[in-house]
Structure 1
Amino acid sequence: MNDIDEIRNLIASYGQTVDSFPRDPRRYADHFVEEGAFTDCGVTLSPRSKIKQLMETARSAEVEAAPLSGTRHLQLNSVINVDGDSAHATSQLVVVELSEKGWKIRGIGQYTDDIVRDVDGCWRFKSKVVTWFKGLGPDPLNPELSSFYESVFLSIMNS
């Protein structure tokens, strides 16, 4: 498998892992280098231990979630540029959410990824940044969700 194929697999694995049930915080965090960073709603989580904590928080929230709930993060039209042991990728993002009313598109945006070959030879995210369509946040019909994300990220970073 060549570098581009390995990076496409990293991107796809990220999307499948973020939506897994039950969530696997260790597997999710393993997509990032030790000093990796994840940015959403203008707040950055770093290092990998804080990124893992994000998924631990999400896993805890699943216990209280309604049976008809969940998301799918669909990453499309990835453009990947490789330069030696580093790469840059952009992927369009569509987040589909399940509720009692069925599936709906919750948010649309873009992932911008800086990716590096880690010490073990695996490609991992050095940074992953979410930019929401027109700055409308993860759910334009629920603007409070952006504030909620910000507060969760800040709580994790300050713990």
Structure 2
Amino acid sequence: MSLEQRVQRLEDLHAIGQLRARYCQFLDDRRWDDLANLFTEDGCFDGLSLVRGRAALRTFFPNLLEGPLDAWWHFSSNETIDLDGDTATGQTWLYQPCVVQGTPQIAAGRYTDSIVREPDGAWRFAVRRVRFFYWVTSGTPWFPGRYDYPAADLPS
């Protein structure tokens, strides 16, 4: 590979990592339009439901809060990316504390992604699939804003 091709590859790998990070941040910050725009126009989320298309995704994600889910926080790691031109596949591990009907829970799983570079140059999810390894009730009650350790409750 030429130096230019190598640099482009590194930029693409970085952009895909940023796409995955933004997914977690936009989901947790409830930035629904920004989240949906991380998917191709006909992009698919395959997880708690099978949802296809940006319009459907813009409705699906906020509606999760209308059901039993009260809050969630997404942490991802152990990314793999197999890059082939304008397409990429790979996996990311997920750790997800959440609150379901007032009860704290912990979930962990794996995202499997199909990602494409769109004509505008942006990388977007064609398919983002999540499968959980476990989803269990936490032994100690916790919720947003609870601090049992006083030093953790610092002003922002």
Give the TM bin, normalised by the shorter chain.
Answer: 0.7 to 0.9
Compute the displacement of 1:140 (Å): 3.6
Stretches of structure 1 that go unaligned for 5 or more consecutive residues are 143-159
Question: Per-residue displacement from partner, 1:75-114 (whole Å, max 9, x unpaired)?
Answer: 110001110000002000000125878xx66111000000
Which residue matches 2:118?
Answer: 118
Q: Do the aligned residues in 2 keep the contact of 1:94 with 1:105 (CA within 8 Å)?
A: no
Which residue matches 1:132?
Answer: 132
Q: Do the aligned residues in 2 keep the contact of 1:111 with 1:131 (CA within 8 Å)?
A: yes
Compute the displacement of 1:132 (Å): 0.9
Give 1:11's match in structure 2, choosing from 14, 20, 25. 20
| TM-score, with structure 2 as normaliser | 0.72
Higher relative contact order (CA 8 A, sep 6+): 1
Which residue matches 1:94?
Answer: 95
Give 1:38's match in structure 2, choosing from 37, 45, 55. 45
Q: How far apart in 2 are the matches of 1:56 and 1:76? A: 24
Q: How far apart in 1 are the matches of 2:105 and 2:15? A: 28
Compute the displacement of 1:72 (Å): 1.0
Alignment of 1:11-30 (within 5 A): 11-20=20-29, 23-30=30-37
Name the amino acid aligned to 2:50. Answer: T
Q: How far apart in 2 are the matches of 1:56 and 1:141? A: 23
* Percentage of pairs with the same residue: 28
Provide runs of 4+ in structure 1 moved above 4 Å: 98-101
CA 1:140–1:105 in 2, change beyond 3 Å: closer, same or farther? closer
Compute the displacement of 1:70 (Å): 2.4
Name the amino acid aligned to 2:63. Answer: T
Q: Does 1:57 align with 2:76?
A: no
Q: How far apart in 2 are the matches of 1:130 and 1:56? A: 17
Compute the displacement of 1:141 (Å): 4.1
Q: Do the aligned residues in 1 keep the contact of 2:80 with 2:90 (CA within 8 Å)?
A: yes
Name the amino acid aligned to 1:91. Answer: T
Q: CA RMSD of the aligned region, Å?
A: 2.5
Name the amino acid aligned to 2:77. Answer: L
In structure 2, the residue corresponding to 1:78 is in which secondary structure?
coil
Larger Rg, first or second structure (1 or 2): 2
